[in-house]
Amino acid sequence: MIKGRLRVPGDKSISHRAVMFGSIAKGTTNIKGFLTGADCISTISIFKKMGIDIELDNTFVKVHGKGLYGLNCPNEVLDCGNSGTTTRLVSGILSSQNFTSVLTGDKSIQKRPMNRIITPLSMMGADIKSNDGFAPLTITGSKLHGIEYNSPVASAQVKSAILLAGLYASSPTTVTEPAKSRDHTELMLKKFGANLTSTKTSVTINPCSELLANDIDVPSDISSAAFFMAAAILVPGSELILENVGINPTRDGIIKVLKDMGANIEIINQTDSFEPVADIKVAYSKLHATCIGGDIIPTLIDELPLLAALASLAEGTTVIKDAGELKVKESNRIRVMCEELSKLGVDVVETEDGMEIKGADNLKGNVTISTHDDHRIAMTFAVLNLISEGELRLDNKNCVEISYPDFFNDLNKVNV
């Protein structure tokens, strides 16, 4: 049974941004609840290489910002590791610095599409050379002007790269998306003093003379909490309270879909600082199938592999569509989920932009799961391992370090 209370680590998206914005703000930014996963450590390491003094003490971070133009020319390549957020957002900041720098990352990053930021940043006047649309990226700082950009994808990383470049532009910049993506950048930039206005699917940022340091209290990451929601839903007799979870409406699609599937979930003790936060109470539930698609997809893009796993035990056939973005994550998450769920005896069909999953009564075990070094795939199958008929062995457990270094310890803690 999954029982008790748990506070999962800090939100990855917010942790990245707090370090980035703190570095280009004037003054000292104190960050509480910082996520110490490998991705966020990559962000710290990059800004240190550009002369920013950053102190890390467990989950408390002090960033001594040097202002919008205070970064120094790095004397080595800036390695983003496995972090798409770092690569794309930092590109926006570097587009207007008075130096040339090179951004790269691991094998997975070098396969992820970068034209989606190169195109709009180049329209603003940025000078970016790439390896045929992929990292490494060589960025020479230029004078930027504002643009009005219709993004073909609802992607917070694309939107954020443009907005960060927009801070440095000579005129306002507007980004319009096909559906609203995560708005952590907009909320935090406002907190740091940027002049932004938003409508449902567009954001306009005005040129900025300076950002001012601000203290950030990072809520727990709903994407990490989701694995424990799933565990409590699947294991009979479970009841769990997840504490201090960020429930930003651009991220809470997982809660909406789980409720729609019949999950017993309650939001309690809600508070709202600059991001809405609450405790989430979740208990064992029998699930039924649903259809997941349309505007909700950007609000749960990282939870879709987990939802596919839950659908494999829900009554009926669940359809996931409009989720082509999953193909260009740390792995092709559509293909990987279909291949690995099939090993457990699940009837699952890969479609062009999603999958169809027929719920089963039980899941076979005694198989090795190919994680493709993808942290979310590893954690998804670690949850299914709680109820499968035999062990699900992960070919790489260590990839969880990317977003949740203590994942297996925490899972043991609540699994009584």
Question: In 352-411, at which residue ranges do the beta strands (DSSP E only) sit?
Answer: 354-358, 367-369, 392-394
Would you call 132 exposed, middle or buried from its count of C-beta atoms within 10 A (0-12, 13-18, 19+)? Answer: exposed
Token pair recorded at residue 127: 């000078």
Question: In 191-314, at which residue ranges do the beta strands (DSSP E only) sit?
Answer: 196-198, 202-205, 211-212, 216-217, 239-246, 264-272, 276-283, 291-292
3-state secondary structure of 316: coil
One-letter amino acid identity for 249? P
Q: How far apart are CA 178 and CA 187, in angstroms?
A: 20
Region of 37 on the Ramachandran plot (φ > 0 left; ψ -120 to 50 alpha; else beta): beta
Q: How far apart are CA 215 and CA 232, in angstroms?
A: 34
Of 221, 252, 302, 374, catalytic = 302
Task: Decide if 18 contacts 12 (C-beta within 8 A).
Answer: no
Instruction: Count how many Cα atoms sit within 13 Å of the Cα of residue 171 in the half-sphere of its side chain.
Output: 6
Is the torsion defined by CA of 89, 92, 96, 101 positive or negative? positive
Q: Radius of gyration over alpha carbons of the chain, in Å?
A: 21
Reply yes or no on whether 302 is catalytic.
yes
- Positions annotated as catalytic residues are 302
